[in-house]
Amino acid sequence: MITPWKSDGWFVSPWNYADEVRTQLHFPRKIKIHDVSLRDGEQQAGILFTKDEKIRIAEKLAEAGVHRIEAGMPAVSRQDAEAITEIVKRNLGPDIFAFSRCMKEDVKRAVDCGVRGIVVEIPSSEHIIKYAYRWPLQKAIDLSIEATRFAKENGLYTVFFPIDATRAEMGWFLDLIAKVATEGHMDALVVVDTFGGISPHAIPYLVKKIKERIDKPLEAHFHDDFGLAAANTLMALAAGVEVAHTTVTSIGERAGNAAYEDVVLSLLTMYGVDTGINYAKLCEVSRLVRQFSGLETPSNRPIVGDMLYNIESGIITSWFRNCGPEYALELVPFHWDLVGQHPAQVVMGKSSGVDSIRVWLVDLGIPVPGAPELETILYAVKDKSVQKHGLLTRQEFLDVVRAVLGPSAVAGIAG
């Protein structure tokens, strides 16, 4: 029987779909993914995308079905402006946005690039305006009104982006966004957690307070300083926020942003919300971004980690053998095919067990010996792994087998 929590592609907790849980969820009818990899993602120290790389990433994001692409900030460099202009010309499918400060000149550069929309930033907490910008408070208000009006006059879908909103004093923050909404212009407002300092449980409260004050579509932009960006984004969407700002594999300023693969796959499997993303492209997009960024991603990174489906543990290897392809989801919460991962495979190391040896011998076409020889091979593998401080290669395993069973056992088998 097909259920929301168990399908051919995933097997998650049924309690995600309990009525008592579902009554707390207020997802909008349609959720859009607004990818900021080419702007906020590139702000991660050491990451730089060339014009051609930005175009390639935008094309891949479009193939994956991302709804909006924030292609960059034209004011950063001539190369950025050229990349944004070229991405617009490609007519890839997603709406192309630019990012700007609350300055008319920044907005004009975005207009010149031909983008569909613009994300306009301004500091929104009194303390960051005072200490980081050294502005009088009124300046933030005046610039916001002027720049957002100018964006509207030039036909841009205008998204207002109040920096450090989650650390702002509530009254001041609500007054600011209300003033910009009435005297300036905003087609949508971003709930911005610039420093990743809000907890998931505070998200519905903040969204509620904003909705009580202004009637505008809301978007979510959360950073991952406490490892909560994806969770916070999901909480915001469940509170009625319509657009999620994400980056590929969580690249971005400091600890990065909410990873788009984490957000969209969680929505699909745990909440039954299909954003229309091509999930089989998740790993493909991640590999391209990692290639261009030089980003070293943990091998067990959720969804896209290169060794996520490698099995070393002896007990899990036994489960893997017993389950076979038919019951693969007894071992993982989502199938490798769903996200474009490589199939599950047994690797050889210190944690391996007798069944690990059996799997490798069969794969190599070597007859499986009796229990004593299997045990001898296993402990030789463990010793070799300890000496190496890592996994064994195929050749190293063959060397162990040769030492135990004799040269004839591995004759003609290439390492």
- What are the structural domain ranges in the chain? 22-293, 310-410
The pTM for the full model equals 0.94
pLDDT tens track for 334-363:
999 999 999 999 999 999 999 999 999 999
Q: Which of 46-50, 135-139, 227-231, 371-375 has the lowest mean pLDDT?
A: 135-139
Provide mean pLDDT across the span 190-206: 97
CB of 140 within 8 A of CB of 123?
yes
* Confidence check: pLDDT of 2 > 80: no
CB of 90 within 8 A of CB of 56?
no
The Cα 204–Cα 293 span in angstroms is 34
Vertex 361 angle, CA 356 and 363, to 5°: 95
pLDDT tens track for 140-185:
899 999 999 999 999 999 999 999 999 999 999 999 999 999 999 9
CB of 319 within 8 A of CB of 330?
yes
CB of 273 within 8 A of CB of 27?
yes
Backbone angles phi, psi at 220, to 5 degrees: -120, 130
Q: Which of 391, 315, 407 is nearest to 353 (CA)?
A: 315
CATH 3.20.20.70 fits 22-293, yes or no: yes
**Model confidence band, residue 412 (pLDDT cutoffs 50, 70, 90):** confident
Number of H helices, E strands in the chain: 16, 10
Place of tokens 């998931």: 200
* Confidence check: pLDDT of 413 > 90: no
Q: Report the half-sphere exposure of 352 (CA within 13 A, side-chain side).
A: 31
Tokens in use for 295? 């980003």
* Confidence check: pLDDT of 410 > 90: no
Determine what percent of the chain is predicted with pLDDT higher than 90: 95
Provide mean pLDDT across the span 93-101: 97
Extended beta strands in 113-263, E state: 117-123, 157-163, 188-193, 218-222, 243-246
pLDDT at position 415: 72
Concatenated DSSP letters of 62-113: HHTT-SEEE---TTT-HHHHHHHHHHHHHT-SSEEEEEEES-HHHHHHHHHH
pLDDT at position 219: 98
The alpha carbons of the chain give a radius of gyration, in whole angstroms, of: 26
pLDDT at position 177: 96
pLDDT tens track for 67-82:
999 999 999 999 999 9
pLDDT at position 409: 84
pLDDT at position 411: 85
pLDDT at position 236: 98
* Confidence check: pLDDT of 1 > 70: no
